[in-house]
Amino acid sequence: MASVSERVLAVTAPASGHEAAPVGVAAPGVAPGRTGDPESDGPAPASAPGPEAVPVAVGAPGYRAVFAVREFRFVFVAHLFSLLGVVVSELALTVLVYDLTKSPLLSSLTFALGFLPYLLGGTLLAGLTDRLPPRRILVFCDLVCAGCVALMVVPATPVAVLLALRCAIAVVSPVFNGTRMATLADVLGEGDLFVLGRSLLRIVSQSALLTGFAAGGVLLTLVPPRGALVVTTVTFLASALLLRLGTARRPARGTDSPGLSGTFAVLRNRRVRALMLMFWVPPLFAVVPEALAAPYADEIGVSTAALGLLMCALPVGTIAGELFAGSFLTAATRSRIVLPLAVASVVPYLLYGPRPGVALAAVALFLAGATGAYTLGLDAWFVAAVPEEQRGRAMTLMTAGMMTVQGVGMAGAGVAAEFAPVHTVVAGTGVLGTLCLLAAAVELRATRGGDRKARRG
């Protein structure tokens, strides 16, 4: 489940993902070339071979097998650098705008502007992810982010330009994130290693929020905001350098239209639409208690420390769920639990009904986060369903949609809380969200076998 934490990291700047040679490793207990998805019994097409393929024995232990792939290690380290840049720039730019304007509205707008261009970039620019060499896209996006942040450091840069630069970073983010997802399938193959690699990057993103903002706050006590932005520029440049030197060059994936016609071509596939819906609906509702954490803490009269506990509970649950599923469950088991866990993902919010204290509310959020383990199986289904020549575009659309619906969910939560108590809004989210997820699950079940049909055209 994508929490607000993951949304912040993805929207603010590209969290680097990179390309490497595929590893043709089947999931443990799954025949080579299979996805491990009981709903799709068609063989997955082989990825194009790359020069850096590292053989890993079938049944190699979980996440450790992912790190056996040399290029993924570069991906992972570059991802850490980008996350550091994201966290520091998020804090530093917000503080800088407030220092320059003394306006809480403009300071909050600095954060909100991360949402607005995301859908634009994700729809209009999605086709570029398949029409250009992926490594070139990834390096270019990191350099764009580094350049934008470098301009923010210049003392003469006016506030309006600072906000425009913030928008520019948000525009390239969905292109970067979609390319990252698509090239991970080239790096790790389309089977279990891809799923575990995606899981690792999500875990890092969630963990960054638990420690990153605290570290950024300490940094801002030592250097001014523009000095912190210099650090961010360096981290993006380091990520770009790692991508350029540590990953293999691969040709463009497809040659379809870069405009909306190619986007509609992806969405005409019913299976892909159903999978995207299952990626989008849970985050729409999942963000509600996080968005209303401060009002809820005020409603029950608890301290700021208790508020911090509420904010941390969901990402901690997400990390725990992903680690357990990735370390102890087979690919076939992760596939079987996708729909049950997804449908149950906001059921814990019903615990907010009687207006619980901090402890029970934190348990509800932890349980909701832990159900996010369904995304490992859903990732496998998605990469199996999308034709390779459309993979970059489809994944860009999927990530852009996830970010957009979370913004909608946060706004809707705020509106609802104007008319009803916070605990009622969260509990109602549990009811409404579960009904919507049941409908999405029915549609997804109806498309079983769609992976094979998509492959055969």
Cα separation values, 368 from 331, 355, 373, 440, Å: 22, 17, 10, 18
Question: What's the token pair of residue 66?
Answer: 């992912």
Of 310, 341, 329, residue with least CA distance to 434: 341
Question: What's the token pair of residue 157?
Answer: 């840069």
Give residue 204's pLDDT.
Answer: 84
Give residue 450's pLDDT.
Answer: 55
Domain borders along the chain are 4-43+56-456
Cα separation values, 253 from 86, 243, 250, 264, 414, Å: 28, 18, 9, 18, 42
Give residue 114's pLDDT.
Answer: 65
Q: Which residue has the higher pLDDT, 401 or 258?
A: 401
Kindly state the average pLDDT of the residues 113-120: 68
Q: Under CATH, what is the fold of the domain 4-43+56-456?
A: Growth Hormone; Chain: A; (1.20.1250)
Share of the chain above pLDDT 70, in %: 78
Kindly state the average pLDDT of the residues 127-155: 89
Give residue 285's pLDDT.
Answer: 96
Q: DSSP code of 354?
A: T
In whole numbers, what is the pLDDT of the chain averaged over residues? 79
Which of 220-234, 252-266, 386-400 comes out lowest in average pLDDT?
252-266
Q: What is the pLDDT of residues 161-174, one digit of tens each?
A: 988 898 888 888 88
Instruction: Give yes or no for residue 179 having a pLDDT over 50.
Output: yes
Q: What is the pLDDT of residues 228-240, one digit of tens each?
A: 899 889 999 999 9
Q: What is the pLDDT of residues 318-374, one digit of tens each?
A: 999 999 999 999 999 999 999 999 999 999 999 999 999 999 999 999 999 999 999
Rounded Cα distance, 36 and 425, in Å: 38
Please write down the long-range contacts of 297-303, taking CB distance under 8 Å and 24 or more positions apart.
297/358, 299/355, 299/421, 299/422, 299/423, 300/355, 300/357, 300/358, 302/357, 302/358
Entry pTM: 0.74
Beta carbons of 277 and 443 less than 8 angstroms apart? yes
Instruction: Give yes or no for residue 258 having a pLDDT over 70.
Output: no
In sequence order, the 6+-apart residues with CB closer than 8 A to the CB of 428 are 416, 420
Kindly state the average pLDDT of the residues 403-431: 90
Tell me the residue ranges of DSSP E strands in 47-172. none
Rounded Cα distance, 66 and 72, in Å: 7
Rounded Cα distance, 112 and 144, in Å: 20
Rounded Cα distance, 383 and 120, in Å: 23
Residue with tokens 């948000």: 170
Which pLDDT band, with edges at 50, 70 and 90, does 445 fall under? very high
Number of H helices, E strands in the chain: 22, 0
Q: What is the pLDDT of residues 44-76, one digit of tens each?
A: 333 333 333 333 333 444 788 899 999 999 989
